[in-house]
Amino acid sequence: MLAERFGQAVRALGLDIAPAGPDSPAGSSDIGNLSQLLPVIHPYIQIAESGTPAHSEAMREAAATSLAHDRTEIAATGLARTVADLLTDEELLAAVRAEFAQVAAGAEVLT
């Protein structure tokens, strides 16, 4: 639910993103530990050409471009809007809490 709200916010800012597929590459992160305690999202925004290896010189160079800067601003704004929604929309907050409780209890969440 939070990821969907973030996606809506980013798309409203002009960046077309979609959920990653099950075969999409992803790295490891300590966010998994935090997700045991509270709802989290771990969005990815493309800042380099598809196929650019992570942790490479090409990615380092891509991170210094205006595209990467612009995309980072969009992502930060999208996150801020998502947080603002959580703080101002009690129904959204309740729904996120309920979804988290379902996941914590081991239930499948249908969207």
| One-character DSSP codes across 36-72 | TTS---------S-TTPPTTSHHHHHHHTSHHHHHHH
- Residue whose pair of structure tokens reads 């598809």 in the numeric block: 50
- Per-residue pLDDT tens over the stretch 64-99: 999 999 999 999 999 999 999 999 999 999 999 999
Mean pLDDT across the stretch 53-65? 95
> 2 in a domain, yes or no?
yes
Q: pTM to 2 decimals?
A: 0.84
The answer to whether residue 23 sits within a structural domain is no
Domain membership flag for residue 50: no
- DSSP annotation of 28 reads -
Helices 2-12, 66-88: inter-axial angle, 10-degree rounding: 130
Q: Is 29 left (phi over 0), alpha (psi -120 to 50) or beta?
A: beta
Looking at the structure of the chain, the number of domains it has is 1
Q: How confident is the model at residue 27 (pLDDT cuts 50, 70, 90)?
A: low
